[in-house]
Amino acid sequence: MTDRLTMQDPRTQYPQPPFPRQPQPVPGLAAEMDPKPDHGETSYVGAGKLKGRKALITGGDSGVGRAAAIAYAREGADVAISYLATEQSDADEVVKLIEAEGRTAVALPGDITDESWCRELVSQARAALGGLDILVINAGRQQNREDISKVTSDDFDKTMKTNLYAMHWITQAAVPHLPAGASVITTASIQAYEPSAILLDYATTKAGIVAYTKALAKQLLDKGIRANVVAPGPFWTALQASGGQPPEAVEKFGSESQYGRPGQPVELSAVYVLLASQEASFINGEVYGVTGGAGVA
């Protein structure tokens, strides 16, 4: 693969569909995907923009969270990642990548649909890192359902707790300990603006994330803390292969974007770095769309 920082046609910079059919059980593993996602393992180059910072990233084992974790470490931050215990093999790879940069890596397996664990993981992250000044709320649940009749109460409850309740519990626990200059970054989706028929509950939570973060940003600025949203479009992550899309849709995933391909997680890294860094000092309550040309409204 060509160096991603070398000028080239972005439409052909990364793999294009068709992809092999590859259904996985929830929550899915990046290591089992074909082609493998690029989280920046060999392609992200840091420049010290987050030197000395201390970050907690939920869903940091794969996908967007993994890309942010790698980038933050290469920018000089110590990083704690939360993830499900079944994702340990992916998380182990991230820990090694963080430590390879000479940074502290903290692994925090647990279920964020449990309020007590959400509060405990913040406490453990703070203790292990010696503080906390970047909070990335990224972990999400996405399961396609062909019709409203198929969205069970259990589905709705799990999606709401993973995507919305956990965001609130973790942020609520973290905010009293964040210093002025800290940054909160949430992960929404183009689904907040252009919801797919098969992602009824997921799209609802992503719209909620946008509203919650915009309101939070107004509160936190009184403390000198910024809060912003990243809204990705179609990105090649284990979320898609583990029920986020029907198996046949995974084979052509990203083909409907203007690029004709899905984004790779590393293509979000620079946005997460910017919003965490002091370079974004005048950016607050904003939604950064990274959608392959589809935009956000």
The Cα angle at residue 55 between residues 139 and 294, in degrees rounded to 5: 50
SS3 82: strand
How far lies 160's CA from each of 172, 205, 275, in Å? 17, 6, 25
Nearest to 106 by CA among 162, 171, 38, 60: 60
165 among known catalytic residues: no
Contact yes or no for 66/94 (Cβ under 8 A): yes
The H or E element that residue 202 is part of is helix 200-220
Nearest to 189 by CA among 132, 240, 121: 240
Q: How far apart are CA 15 and CA 33, in angstroms?
A: 13
Amino acid identity for residue 198 in this structure: I
Characterise 76 by phi-psi region: left (phi > 0), alpha (psi -120 to 50), beta (else): left
* Active-site hit among 72, 193, 202, 259: 202
Q: How far apart are CA 240 and CA 227, in angstroms?
A: 27
Q: Which residue has the tokens 């899309």?
A: 245
DSSP-derived letter for residue 264 is: P
Among all residues, which ones are annotated catalytic?
202
